[in-house]
Amino acid sequence: MKWTTRLLFAAGLFTASYGLQSCGEPAQAAPTAPVINQESAPKGDDFSYAYGMLLGSNLKAMGMEYSDVEVIELLAGLRAAMDADEKPLMDQAAAQQLVNKTFQEMQAKAGEANLKKGQDFLAKNAKRSKVKVTESGLQYEVLKEGVGGKPSINNKVKVHYHGTLIDGTVFDSSVDRGKPISFPLGNVIRGWQEGLQLMPVGAKYKLYIPADLGYGQRAAGKIPANSALIFEVELLAIE
């Protein structure tokens, strides 16, 4: 994607990069700056290079590539924002609006791609003999049978789980933390609500959750918008 001339108005850039985290929940914490001894703090060229690295890291974290940014215009925006003698080509409000609009368009495009990848994965996965598909589109695989009762939507349950994206990226895992969690079943995503009500206590299922039964168009922490999700869930107890 080529950016429109003078798109990046520097005064609003960091605000935009961190502010966009509110589009998804929970937002990941921004990296904290290291504490620097002021007497030995870098100056001049060192500081400029370091600040440029931080700026580049933030842009990369938002899914941008070097080719997406018109560096000359980026520098022009920086100069206009910092030089009292130079009049910017737009005010900060207009710059912020333009940057936010562009990032929203990028996120929407990425979401469409994620949705297609998830649909393709689930269509192929549904053909596996061990996978069962419900009317809603939820897919599940029984890894271990259980012998206890099944929870209802009004129950509180205790589970161990391991969650990944379809590419294997782990986004959350009580198993890795070594501590199961308890929660009201009615308070979680629809894929979990439906899947856990199929499970007897003691069972372990692998749930393949379409985006519309997960977080949908919302990004959530390490989960991009419109992502299909995979969970290995063990139902330990109904509380």
- Spatial CA neighbour of 149 closest among 200, 203, 204: 200
Does residue 66 surpass a pLDDT of 70?
no
Question: Is the torsion defined by CA of 194, 199, 202, 203 positive or negative?
Answer: negative
- Spatial CA neighbour of 208 closest among 111, 112, 143, 113: 143
Is 219 in the same domain as 148?
A: yes
- Spatial CA neighbour of 99 closest among 27, 13, 188: 13
What are the residue numbers of the active site?
161, 171-172, 189, 215, 231
Residue 4 placed within a domain: no
Asked if residues 78 and 85 have their Cβ atoms less than 8 Å apart, the reply is no
CATH code for position 214: 3.10.50.40
Predicted local distance difference test score (pLDDT) of residue 67: 66
Predicted local distance difference test score (pLDDT) of residue 10: 35
The domain in which residue 104 lies consists of 10-111
What is the β-pairing status of strands 170-173 and 139-144? unpaired
Q: Which tokens hold the place of 62?
A: 């938002």
User: What is the per-residue pLDDT across 163-186, written as a single tens digit (0 to 9) for each?
Assistant: 999 999 999 999 999 999 999 999
For 183, how many CA atoms within 13 A lie in the half-sphere containing its CB?
A: 14
Comparison of pLDDT for 121 and 33, the residue scoring more: 121
Is 206 in the same domain as 102?
A: no
Is 147 in the same domain as 47?
A: no
d(CA 183, CA 206): 19
**Structural domain ending residue among the three candidates 78, 111, 144:** 111
Q: Which residues pair with 132 in a beta bridge?
A: 140
Q: What is the secondary structure of 53-103 as a DSSP string?
A: HHHHHHHHHTT--GGGS-HHHHHHHHHHHH-TTS--SS-HHHHHHHHHHHH
Asked if residues 134 and 207 have their Cβ atoms less than 8 Å apart, the reply is no
Amino acid at 49: Y
Is 144 in the same domain as 75?
A: no
**Averaged over 92-119, what is the pLDDT?**
85
d(CA 33, CA 50): 11
Total domains in the chain come to 2
Is 196 in the same domain as 94?
A: no
Q: Give the least confident one: 59-73, 151-165, 179-193.
A: 59-73
Predicted local distance difference test score (pLDDT) of residue 146: 97
Radius of gyration of the chain (CA): 23
Mean pLDDT for the chain overall: 82
